[in-house]
Structure 1
């Protein structure tokens, strides 16, 4: 039986027709499952290159079908991660303010319309399955864990009117024990406070990384006023008291300096969330007697919290997937539907999430050769030996192997790798490559056989493949592993299996054989403006526009040539599908009018200028505006400038501006042989 799980919104990448669920449906993804096993799964952002996109799952669906060599006609069920009744109510609210949507009708008609419009496919009513938001979260963690019985905790900002669920699962039967509404949302409480600290949605992990620099006791009493612990594992959140933060300090402006006050608030916030969650778990573990726990939902991606739960000893085993957030709901919807339809299917632990775009060894050479103006490439005789030597010599490597990982974390197939013993790597990678805050920590990848040698691992389980737990580095190793040891002596570790990821395991093992430390610094292969790289071309672009020393794709090693902006003129240029060019006739002073040129985005994500008032449209010169306006994905920069009749000075101006726009992913550049 084939089941296609879907999470995300309704609008095409280039439009804002429906504008439905913009605050709820994000991190669009599709997962294709056959008899309980994933054939393919990918987030839409990897393919459209739009971070956290909530646009419709068009390209993710096409990818899954292509990988499986199937068509939509072959799919038995389409699983949607939302409660049907809730969707119908939401649709009616939208239809009141926008009568044009009235013809769509209810949720089933909506999805029939979407499939007809996007794929020319007639979706039958009996193929469409709606799964409650929190059930999809629960199913994601439960079915991946392989446990037959477990306590399930899902914590989100909001989904289908609920924010927190505690569920007792025994042999696939889901019995709800506690549900909390939006008014008691821990996710929204967290967002309230981090906004005060100058952060915004999708920045939660940044504040988690900031918290260890703070002193939780300083503002413990103030944060304790934001919630009340109630009997029987219950709690209440008092959002109206968030304004009491003004008694401590003023809201931090974006990009303003981070002070000790901000760090202390972050520490108290992290402690508050952990206190509430442990209060819930203590009660329901005692009530149910469960020895195993699984966690999902956006707040479940707090690896610091998960580490505290593991150390608490409440449970013998705790499982958290790397995609506990909403992209994972595509998996959860597919898994829940599959097991409801086929209850006889066995349960088994899922050990990896390498379900995305494959890198085939026979395509690497030709793809890299197309970038020959910018790259020197060579095929290595012994990949692990040569790459480990480069890392030992101090190089920072972009590493691309096999199928890309599903979810927000790079687990060894689309990673930036470095020597964990070099303290300066932390600052170098944050500043020159990731272009992000200097305090942000990096994760260690360790061969699973040696994890207890370097980390304080509670209990019997030592399998942590999804980078979901922060554990303590053993004191005797902290000074020897400065690049991956956080300020509080902890690290968000990943164990690497020789069976699940042999290439990555071999590299770490080779590094360990030479240094005595089978650990590598691992962070996602991207910069601050884009999702994790997916294709070889994505990797090349990120490599060329960052401070990475080398790029490794399969058995090939690439080094940058000393390229200049003029070398970009022969690249084919196009605009991202979500980009909009603006030419505005406006006053530029009290007495003078003129034209301004800019680029904006049309989607509800981290770079939507309407969604985030702190963002500003990207200003363009008139000549760059004209080139982008003419860009069609068929002609090179030089061809367009010639057709536009640009002078040498105008051409020089365009070529001076292109590297910055390229680095910010505001345009797409490809070699001529990669023309689209």
Structure 2
């Protein structure tokens, strides 16, 4: 047996992933244990959970793979320092960051109670973007492909593209600090008043409400180079000279504003987070999304010219922009696109682990990620014990608990309640890896009801009204409902809903007629597929509204967390494995 533990640490979305004999056996983010969104720092609990899921002792881990390399691009860093004369604050911040990464082997040893020198000898540092590239290609269904990583920054790089062949990645181009598409999107996200770490997806959801009237102004922030690269106009950004601090007090990541007063002079006053959204803000969001897409397709078309591949693997924080992803086949020559479930920094744990396993073993690939169920799960006995422990509490809340052992009966019973307008919490199997709830820790509802978005927001989610809800659809029905869509088990692409189908699923259709879909196959997710099939039999619609099982917190991990969320919100039904919980007044 050969085991490699991959670790993403010391930035947002800390995570761990375990590869044994060339196959992924466990992967999970630290936030699911700490209950802090995008939890940063070192993933102590995720590391231990991966070993528990695999049934391995710490001493059985052959190598530790860190998705950072503080030695990478040292000459470029030195030349930048000499040429730009950055502030003392920036230099101090970078020194602290490098020091933390260097301490990773010692932290691993403390977490797993191993001898530090043994861990140090078995630690491999994987340059951040190589880890991103590996996370996309080395688990893809492609033997060869063009591979691209786009993010904020990591190890002094913000973009890299490569040729993937078998187990090798030949990096053919990089874009270095201080230029970054991820930083461009972050700056405008902050300018629009969305200040929390990871809020870029809100701007993507806001963009369809506006017209791109400010596109020419935002284009002034970015220059596209003839070789397929890009450069920021640093007049509008603070990071290259003044420095931008990222902290994680108690694990909560925070980034200072990255834009300068010149951006406000160009676009007008920045929005205060408490200020209501106005048409001007919607127009800025639409303009940013348009310019971002222009830059992404500029990069990808250059990558295609360099590789002539029809297959593309995509990773990095920018690969979470599902609107851009959905247009790749239309705006570039690429025909097949693969984006795995954790395309952001959490995915570097996965990429680092596979990179090291293949490099150390010399063995060919033997794994394809086809579903996201790589986290912890709870047995029927554990669920029964939790429900028994909370019997009195559930009784006081007027809850009826029953067990339905037969899958056909369980899915039929659940589908009937969804079709009757009930909101259902659905907890099944292993928790999802990545940011999306994909039918393992989901809240499900009827997409046929136009008011269902408002109902879920008012009763459970309490989030911005402009944010859309997503559909899960039977894989075999995707072409019937979506134009230009193909298999997408990870909900990473937005596509247009066919005009004739929009009225039948209004709760999951965004203002521009699009939806970020998840396709569900019988092979990869048999029980969730069976539920969709049962709902289709009842209603004629093979689609469910699927949103993450949470209320302004990370997706629920344990049955206790699911019960807590169910009891404090106005959810109607909870299905925990084969156990059902329903309040009498709720159905």
The answer as to whether partners of 1:466 and 1:494 remain within 8 angstroms in 2 is yes
1:5 and 2:28 are equivalent in the alignment:
no
> For residue 110 of structure 2, what is the aligned residue in structure 1?
117
> For residue 238 of structure 1, what is the aligned residue in structure 2?
233
Shift, 1:347, TM fit: 4.6
Cα deviations by residue, 1:50-77 (Å, 9 ceiling, x for unpaired): 2111132211111111111111110010
SS of residue paired to 1:145: coil
Shift, 1:366, TM fit: 2.2
Shift, 1:129, TM fit: 0.4
Shift, 1:247, TM fit: 4.3
Quick one: which of 532, 545, 563 aligns to 2:555? 532
Shift, 1:327, TM fit: 0.8
> For residue 37 of structure 2, what is the aligned residue in structure 1?
51
Shift, 1:346, TM fit: 2.7
Shift, 1:271, TM fit: 0.6
Structure 1: how far apart are the matches of 2:515 and 2:525?
A: 21
Q: Which moved more, 1:50-59 or 1:399-408?
A: 50-59
SS of residue paired to 1:479: helix
Shift, 1:408, TM fit: 1.0
Quick one: which of 63, 82, 89 aligns to 1:77? 63
Cα deviations by residue, 1:419-448 (Å, 9 ceiling, x for unpaired): 111111111212321111011111110111
Shift, 1:172, TM fit: 2.6
> For residue 83 of structure 2, what is the aligned residue in structure 1?
none
1:543 and 2:569 are equivalent in the alignment:
no
Cα deviations by residue, 1:343-394 (Å, 9 ceiling, x for unpaired): 3223543101211111212222221222222332112361111110100010
> For residue 17 of structure 1, what is the aligned residue in structure 2?
none
> For residue 329 of structure 2, what is the aligned residue in structure 1?
310
Quick one: which of 334, 340, 361 aligns to 1:321? 340
SS of residue paired to 2:145: strand
1:429 and 2:456 are equivalent in the alignment:
yes
The answer as to whether partners of 2:132 and 2:343 remain within 8 angstroms in 1 is yes
TM-score, length basis structure 1 = 0.76
Structure 2: how far apart are the matches of 1:359 and 1:30?
A: 19
SS of residue paired to 1:324: coil
> For residue 504 of structure 1, what is the aligned residue in structure 2?
528
RMSD over aligned CA atoms reads 2.5
Structure 1: how far apart are the matches of 2:109 and 2:131?
A: 25
Q: Which moved more, 1:377-386 or 1:301-310?
A: 377-386
Structure 1: how far apart are the matches of 2:165 and 2:582?
A: 54
Structure 1: how far apart are the matches of 2:100 and 2:265?
A: 44
1:273 and 2:292 are equivalent in the alignment:
yes
The answer as to whether partners of 1:445 and 1:522 remain within 8 angstroms in 2 is yes
Structure 2: how far apart are the matches of 1:105 and 1:412?
A: 40
The answer as to whether partners of 1:420 and 1:482 remain within 8 angstroms in 2 is yes
Quick one: which of 18, 22, 26 aligns to 1:40? 26
Shift, 1:308, TM fit: 1.2
The 1:48–1:248 alpha-carbon spacing in structure 2 relative to 1, beyond 3 Å, is closer
Q: Larger C-alpha radius of gyration, 1 or 2?
A: 1
The 1:552–1:106 alpha-carbon spacing in structure 2 relative to 1, beyond 3 Å, is closer
Structure 2: how far apart are the matches of 1:385 and 1:105?
A: 55
Gaps of 5+ in 2: 78-87, 237-258
The answer as to whether partners of 1:28 and 1:54 remain within 8 angstroms in 2 is yes
> For residue 520 of structure 1, what is the aligned residue in structure 2?
544
Structure 2: how far apart are the matches of 1:417 and 1:136?
A: 34
Shift, 1:396, TM fit: 0.7
1:220 and 2:215 are equivalent in the alignment:
yes
> For residue 162 of structure 1, what is the aligned residue in structure 2?
157
Structure 2: how far apart are the matches of 1:527 and 1:443?
A: 16
TM-score, length basis structure 2 = 0.87
1:27 and 2:13 are equivalent in the alignment:
yes
Structure 2: how far apart are the matches of 1:87 and 1:167?
A: 17
Cα deviations by residue, 1:515-547 (Å, 9 ceiling, x for unpaired): 11111000110011x100011001001111212
> For residue 482 of structure 1, what is the aligned residue in structure 2?
506
1:129 and 2:124 are equivalent in the alignment:
yes
Shift, 1:562, TM fit: 8.4
Give runs of aligned pairs for residues 4-403 of structure 1, distance below 5 A.
4-9=5-10, 25-86=11-72, 110-123=103-116, 124=118, 125-200=120-195, 201-216=197-212, 218-241=213-236, 243-372=262-391, 373-374=393-394, 375-380=399-404, 382-403=409-430
